[in-house]
Amino acid sequence: MNQRKKILITGAAGFLGSHLCDRFMQEGFHVIAMDNLITGRMTNIEHLMPSERFDFYRQDVSKYIHVPGDLHYILHFASPASPIDYLKIPIQTLKVGSLGVHHCLGLAKEKGARMLIASTSEVYGDPEVHPQKESYWGNVNPVGPRGVYDEAKRFQEAMTMAYHTFHGLETRIARIFNTYGPRMRLNDGRALPAFIGQALRGEDITVFGDGSQTRSFCYVDDLVEGIYRLLMSDYVQPVNLGNPDEISILDFAKEIVALTQTDQQIVFKALPADDPKQRRPDISVAREVLDWAPTIQRAEGLKRTYQYFRGLSVEELHLMEHKNFDQFIVK
């Protein structure tokens, strides 16, 4: 029998990390899940804990990491990922993107493992080219509120490519566009959980600015399929993964109001600094190299996501509302 493949997933208790754990468990891998639980939650992965093929380490990837025995793949998905989170924990965001990726790359080199990093459409900043192709270098403000995330991810790409060219490490770079689905944190500040949470609590829906800014939302299952294909491919350059179906935030808010059948009012609030005006992936590379494109329409994806949030217990909703970062902050 072939040796079972072992994969380390950092950020495993987070939104994307936990869905990746599910997928690689389904594929028969031995999954080593790592998370410091600063933004992740054990409830996202507790169903996997009984398996002998699943190990969980509560560990900060920004500190030295070690995994005993063989290791074939690493997915580096640990990072706060929403503007509210980076404002609260900016230094941790920078550290996990820089020190964290360095530790993962060092481990990959020691084990001869293939490593894929979760990069982001944020490397394009407030883009002046539309839609965004991988060849566009971006328009990022390094010292703005999003800089801690954007620059960490840009550094992460540079570091990963350096390990590839200098050490010959097998590396993959996914540039992930807005993704949504079950297990997002209701209070992570992103548009979709914010709107659904407001609808569930009977509050006004807060659209920032005039809502004319656009995003392109990809359902999590499509994204996971893209990540899987990229990991198994031999393509080393960055690949955009996202759904090109672009919508204004105001129209998106209206879709959520219609979906939740609450006739909540839409109110307008100040637009946060450096909020990108437009965002849509050009996915020609993913189509060509991975034969990948999203298959789940927004109407279907939103329905599934809403079902998840509606099914949460009052306690779970309460817990999500009171996530406290203070214990993690080293002054």
- Asked whether position 178 contacts ligand UDP by CB under 6 A, the answer is yes
Stretch that binds ligand UDP, among 22-30, 92-100, 206-214, 284-292 (CB under 6 A): 206-214
Distance from C-alpha of 142 to C-alpha of 125, rounded to nearest angstrom = 10
CB-wise, 196 or 286, nearer to ligand UDP?
A: 196
Q: Is the dihedral of CA 314, 14, 84, 212 positive or negative?
A: negative
Distance from C-alpha of 175 to C-alpha of 183, rounded to nearest angstrom = 21
Rg of the chain, C-alpha, whole Å: 19
Binding residue for ligand UDP, selected from 82, 92, 216, 260, defined by CB under 6 A: 82
- Asked whether position 213 contacts ligand UDP by CB under 6 A, the answer is yes
Backbone torsion region of residue 329, taken as left when φ is above 0, otherwise alpha when ψ lies between -120 and 50, otherwise beta:
beta
x/- mask, ligand UDP, residues 33-72, rule CB under 6 A, reads ----------------------------------------
- Per DSSP, 168 falls in state -
Residue with tokens 């459409």: 121
Question: Does the annotation mark 73 as catalytic?
Answer: no
Number of DSSP helices (H) and strands (E) in the chain, helices first: 10, 13
Distance from C-alpha of 276 to C-alpha of 215, rounded to nearest angstrom = 9
| Smallest separation (angstroms) from ligand UDP to the CB of 202 | 16
- Asked whether position 208 contacts ligand UDP by CB under 6 A, the answer is yes
Out of 73, 86, 149, 163, the active site residue is 149
Distance from C-alpha of 146 to C-alpha of 131, rounded to nearest angstrom = 20
Cα distances from 26 to residues 49, 181, 228, 230, in angstroms, run 14, 19, 12, 17
x/- mask, ligand UDP, residues 258-277, rule CB under 6 A, reads --------------x--x--
CB-wise, 27 or 204, nearer to ligand UDP?
A: 204
The count of chain residues that interact with ligand UDP, using the rule CB under 6 A, is: 15
x/- mask, ligand UDP, residues 231-260, rule CB under 6 A, reads ------------------x-----------
Footprint of ligand UDP on this chain (CB under 6 A)? 82-83, 178, 189-191, 194, 206-208, 213, 215, 249, 272, 275
